[in-house]
Homo-oligomer: A and B are copies of this chain.
Amino acid sequence: MNTDSSPETPTPDLEHYRVTGYSPGGNAVSRILWYYVNALIFNSALFPIYGLKRALLRWFGAQIGKGVVIKPDVNIKYPWRLKVGDFSWIGEGVHIDNLANVAIGANACLSQDAYLLTGNHDYSSTKFTLITGEIVLEDGAWVGARSIVCPGRTMRRNAILTAGSVLTRDAEANGIYAGNPAVLVRQRSIRPLG
């Protein structure tokens, strides 16, 4: 490992940064259209109409289940990389930064300001190469308010990430994760009859 911290250490060369081996999907027209639909209708509080938002997401290629709730001020990068199961909730201020696919199961909950982050960079390369990682949130998972799910992470069935926490590893089924980085702090149990 190079621990040389002298000024001679190279920095990333962002002048020559290029995105290679990655495609945003969609096409140029749909990307521009979505950019403004997202800015004006989703990432806004003026149109709190779930049905309209579900229809728009589907029209742009997202797979959106029945009864999905989409609160105000939501920011979604690419709908064609988004799948949300029946009756899941996307809370106020949620940011789904899905350069890579994000698959959310049914009855999942993303609370206010939750951030799903799929992009990273190779910090050991002067090319600062873009690295993307898909996120999977299985049925019943709950991403707490202001928490962050890091690129490539999976939250298994019913896993919980508590408010303000940062998930840097996968979350096992029924596990409750807290902290930065989040660690398993307890198990979730769900009473079958209520």
Contacts and interface: CB of A to CB of B under 8 A. Distances in A.
Interface of A: 1-7, 9-15, 17, 35-36, 38-39, 43, 45-46, 48, 66-67, 72, 86-89, 93, 95, 97, 106-107, 109, 112-113, 115, 117, 121, 123-128, 139-140, 142, 145-146, 148, 150, 156-158, 160, 163-166, 172-176, 178-181, 187-194
Contact of A2 (B1, B163, B172, B190): B190
A11 B141 CA distance: 8
Contacts of A7: 157
Q: For chain A, what secondary structure do more than half of its interface residues adopt (helix, strand, loop), or is it mixed?
A: loop
B5 A190 contact: no
Given A15-B67, A43-B45, 13 more contacts: A3-B189, A5-B173, A7-B157, A14-B89, A15-B66, A15-B107, A38-B45, A39-B45, A95-B112, A121-B142, A126-B194, A178-B180, A179-B181
